[in-house]
Amino acid sequence: MTHQRSPASVQALTSGWRRYFPFLAIVRTYQTAWLRPDVLAGVTVFAVLVPSALAYGELAGLAPVAGLYAAVGAMLGYALFGSSRQAILGPDASLPLLMMAAIAPLAAGDMARYAALAATTALLAGAICVAAGFLRFGFIANFISQPILTGYMAGIALTVIGGQLGRLFGIKVQADLFFSQVLEVVQRLGETQLLTFVIGAASIALLFYGKRRWPRWPGPLLLMAATIALVTLLNLDERGVAVVGSIPSGMPQIALPRFSAGDFFALLVPSLSIALIAFTDVLVNSTSFAAKNKYRVDADQELIGLGAANIGSSLLGGFPVSSSSARTAVADSMGGRTQVVGLVAALLCVVFLLFLTGLLTNLPLVTLAAILIVAVWGLIDFAQLRWLYRVRRSEFWLAMLAAFGVLTVGLLQTILLAVVLSLLGVIARMSRPHDAVLSHDAAQDLFVEREIDPRTTDVELLPGLIVYRFDAPLFFANAPYFLDRARALIDSAEHPVRWFLINAEPIVDVDATAAAIFMEFDAEMDERHIQIAIARAGEPLRAMLDRTGVTERIGEAFFFPSLHGAIQAYEISATAAPPVSTPPAP
């Protein structure tokens, strides 16, 4: 007997495939009218990509062509698995230095091993992202706050600029940290290679001017063509201008990188850091352009897409990749509608690698340095830093600390410190959350919050009744603060307090430590003949209070679904018995 799938089961199966392979949905719904803008956008992305990919390959400590290998694998992988229609993935400035800090000590000067470790790092970061995507860990991007990410990116930008100063002046710099690099260049200015510096300075000026005057033109590509022609016509390579030299043509063999168990464990934590930074960057980029084009991206699918991009880069001998806001903006501005843009750009890169790499032999290295300096300058978000300084000074200094950490301590240490600082910042804010006492506006029948002022005794809603709202979950870090605030309110009240009513709507959870402190508070209030009551507790909170014994301790009768019901119950009890609350024990 043959069994046929029901239409419903077939639909569920195809829907599941489209969930993990978004490109299938694009193929199914693709319109021929989209092909022209997609191809045009792909050609433009390719023109912008080639010089930056070569520069980032050089920045990663590899042959410049490795940047193109990484770009091809990244664009193919993301186009098949990513959920953003505009995002273009490939080499960027934020990851090569982080990778270098991890693999350089392991390679110990062996360039073949260095290249294998670079590909291994991309493979591990990709595998981590794919696993996290299937486990629906898209929320991990929230582990790094925006101020810290802003500072981190600014630090990355300055680190890259510091690393290119020697190439800009034609000096072989020995220092490896930003401030020492700047100092060494200043001390050795007399050794400047004049032709190199003139080409570099002019290139930087032209790139900045071109971005402002002709933002849609492929400035870096035109600059590459001009400086290659200049070197070739004037034989500048014979006059001290360093050039890229011979670049092998063809595509690399598709293969997994070779690595040992020791390499795996040594690179696991750095790969996790790279995955976290890259995913944060990808999610910010893809959600921004999705909002602009009125659709939504799936954070978990973005993890899978990023993972596929890094695995693709690894298989071609590349290095860790992330999204490029500049190339994504180019794709969007040229009318790119779908992931076909990335496929077109990848195909053009393959053609270039097969037939046209000989054109790059006379490309000055200082041109790549200029392209890098201009590219990473955009990572310093001056507008965001000014906004932080104006709105929340503490987070501005947190951003500055992250930037300073990158410049002085190192990239790996700073990213771990950034995560810790972000979490500590959350805990610090939640340890002293906003709170208020409530009063009742009888004319509008509304409860109005009043800021707590330790200088006043006006804290009661009715004589003997305090209504208190604590705007955070109760947990070990803020439970003592809750206790101190409650005691202070009771002690400062004008009348003897009979009821302390908690508006529990914002308290969505209570941990074991907070529950124990809460029961201690209730016992103390019992001694003072003050009744604790709770209103508007949600179901998760009620369940937790039941499990920890708090409900039994307070009494089921003193839980109320609304503030009005609780106040009516208080008024009934107040008329039945006189107040008997006692002052705290000395």
Residue 256, Cβ neighbours under 10 Å: how many? Answer: 11
Question: In this model, does residue 462 exceed pLDDT 80?
Answer: yes
Cα angle 34-40-46, degrees, rounded to a multiple of 5: 130
Distance CA 330, CA 335 (A): 9
Q: Is 454 exposed, middle or buried (0-12, 13-18, 19+ CB in 10 A)?
A: exposed
In this predicted model, which residue has the larger pLDDT, 176 or 579? 176
Determine how β-strand 446-450 pairs with β-strand 465-470.
unpaired
Distance CA 252, CA 62 (A): 14
Summarised one tens digit per residue, pLDDT across range 548-566 is 888 888 999 999 999 999 9
Summarised one tens digit per residue, pLDDT across range 73-131 is 999 999 999 989 889 999 988 799 889 999 999 999 899 999 999 999 999 999 999 99
> What is the greatest pairwise CA distance in the chain?
104
Structure tokens at 145: 């706050």
Give residue 453's pLDDT.
Answer: 60
The domain over range 433-576 is classified in CATH as 3.30.1700.10: no
Range(s) within the chain of domains with CATH label 3.30.750.24: 433-576
Summarised one tens digit per residue, pLDDT across range 124-171 is 999 999 999 999 988 877 667 788 888 888 888 898 899 899 999 999
- With CA atoms as reference, report the closest residue to 69 among 257, 265, 291: 257
Going by pLDDT thresholds of 50, 70 and 90, the confidence category of residue 26 is confident
